[in-house]
Chains A and B, each alone.
Chain A
Amino acid sequence: MIPIGSHPVWHPVMETLAYASGFAVYRWQRARQGDIVDEPQRWTVLAAAAVGALVGSRALGVAEHWPTVQQAWQAGRLWELLLSPGGKTIVGGLLGGWLAVELVKKLSGIKRRTGDLFALPLCVGIAVGRVGCLLAGLADDTYGKPTALPWAVNLGDGIGRHPVQVYEILFLIALGFLVSVKARLPEGARFRIFMGGYLAWRLAIDFLKPQPLIDGLNLIQWSCVAGILLLVLDEIRLWKGIHARAAG
């Protein structure tokens, strides 16, 4: 069993580093590859992504703690719902950010697929953030189920657990290489690979987390299912468009 000297203060520290590193990678990538949209449009997309991610991550984070929310609501302690319970969820942030960008693109008439530049920065940002989740230990709700495997981690309670955060970091490194492959891919493909890959990963890895289940899956897994369905529908719509253009 590997002991982890966990403390919750690591979470906001690493979270800040995650945003900073993700943004740095985005800027480096944009400077190296260029952009398919002009600067004001890119900033609009970035702002939509940030606000959508904020709302989505918090909404799913609160929804995960629904009984506590109900109690606070019934007791009239509504202000508590702003700050507590629960934190933010990555899946909620990704889905919220994606939907917000699509909405803003529709409103402002941006037709290009703008997500490719976000794929690698998201891999880097989430991986850095997951270090914070691991070091925050049991105070963070992302720890794994007990296991007797030799690489089990002890987060302070003396129980060996799956280091699910480390599994995810390793997966994100692989996904990061995949989305930065130099092959010529259609516009938006890298982002769709990232989203599909990450949502499928979370759908699988969350079986190793002790979370309350609804019909066999936890709330984050159900959100992953919804996100994958949206991606599939988007892919079908794209193929239909390509075939219609080819036929026309």
Chain B
Amino acid sequence: MRERLVDRIPFAKIMLVLAAALILSLGSCGLSFYFASAPLRDASSALALIGLVGFLGSLAGLVLTCLAWVILAIVGASGQKVSQPQNLFDKEDDTKHDKDK
């Protein structure tokens, strides 16, 4: 049987990595706020930029991945229900029919 798209994409792993990236970038953003008041302004602005890019990227990635996971899980679940082979005749009816013969 063909594997569903939701099972093929490792959403859980992607979300774990993005959550870790978001937690860490949040830390570096906080750090750059601290550095902004210290004499290390150049280092702080570079750190702030990296932190901000990491923060926004991982946040957007996390939200999009979560949405994609939920949508594909719903679509996959409903698709599975629709694509299930349907028994046109019950087995009981078939045997009954055979007996009648």
Contact = CB atoms under 8 A, between A and B. Distances in A.
Contacts of B75: none
A83 B12 contact: no
A84 B11 contact: no
A43 B31 CA distance: 31
B15 interface: yes
Contacts of B15: 47, 50-51
Interface residues of B, number: 24
Interface residues of A, number: 24
Interface in A26-71: 40, 43-44, 46-47, 50-51, 53-54, 57-58
User: Among the interface residues B15, B24, B52, B55, which one has the most CB atoms of the partner chain A within 10 A?
Assistant: B15
A50 B30 contact: no
Specify the main secondary structure of chain A where it touches its partner.
Answer: helix
B72 interface: no
A88 interface: yes
A12 interface: yes
Nearest to A42: B12
B31 A9 contact: yes
A84 B30 contact: yes
Specify the main secondary structure of chain B where it touches its partner.
Answer: helix
A197 interface: no
A223 interface: no
A87 B19 contact: no
B40 to A, nearest CB: 10
Interface string B15-43: 11001101110111111011000000000
B85 interface: no
Contact of B24 (A16, A57, A84): A16
Contacts of A19: 20, 23-24
Nearest to B66: A51
A1 interface: no
A82 interface: yes
B29 A51 contact: no
A54 B27 contact: no
B13 interface: yes
Interface in B42-86: 52, 55, 62, 66
Contact of B16 (A8, A46, A84): A46
A83 B27 CA distance: 9
Interface of B: 7, 10-13, 15-16, 19-20, 22-24, 26-31, 33-34, 52, 55, 62, 66
